[in-house]
């Protein structure tokens, strides 16, 4: 069920990028939009790894939702909020720092 919802969201994003490019014909904006979509999809995929630490996972899910909303804000109203799109980077760095410095069997 969740994959179906994510597929619909991704389809809406692709259609939005397509219509935005048709309206502006600016390849720089097209590449920027595609890069932000790839970044948000990367942060969404990293959630599979972060599920090991539950508190960090809950934080990461909240930040991923913020990131998706920042992406939709950029695509719909052309307002770029980089802190919203890259917010899950904080929980990803926290997860890797915890894995590096707080090993259980070191």
Task: Report pLDDT digits (tens) over 31-85.
Answer: 888 899 999 989 988 988 898 889 999 999 999 999 999 998 998 888 889 999 9
Q: What pLDDT shows up at residue 92?
A: 93
- 78: how many CB neighbours lie within 10 A of its CB? 11
Categorise residue 75: left if φ over 0, alpha if ψ from -120 to 50, beta otherwise. Answer: alpha
Calpha distance 29→48 (Å, rounded) = 30
Calpha distance 18→6 (Å, rounded) = 18
How much is the average pLDDT of 94-106? 82
Calpha distance 41→103 (Å, rounded) = 28
Q: What pLDDT shows up at residue 106?
A: 55
């Amino acid at each position: 069920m969740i994959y179906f919802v994510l597929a619909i969201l991704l389809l809406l994003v692709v259609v939005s990028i397509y219509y935005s490019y048709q309206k502006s014909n600016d390849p720089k904006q097209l590449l920027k939009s595609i890069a932000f979509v790839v970044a948000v999809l990367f942060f969404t995929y990293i959630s599979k790894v972060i599920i090991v630490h539950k508190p960090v996972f809950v934080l990461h899910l909240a930040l991923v939702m913020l990131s998706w909303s920042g992406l939709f804000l950029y695509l719909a109203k052309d307002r770029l909020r980089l802190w919203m799109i890259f917010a899950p980077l904080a929980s990803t760095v926290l997860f890797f720092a915890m894995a590096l410095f707080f090993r259980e069997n070191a």
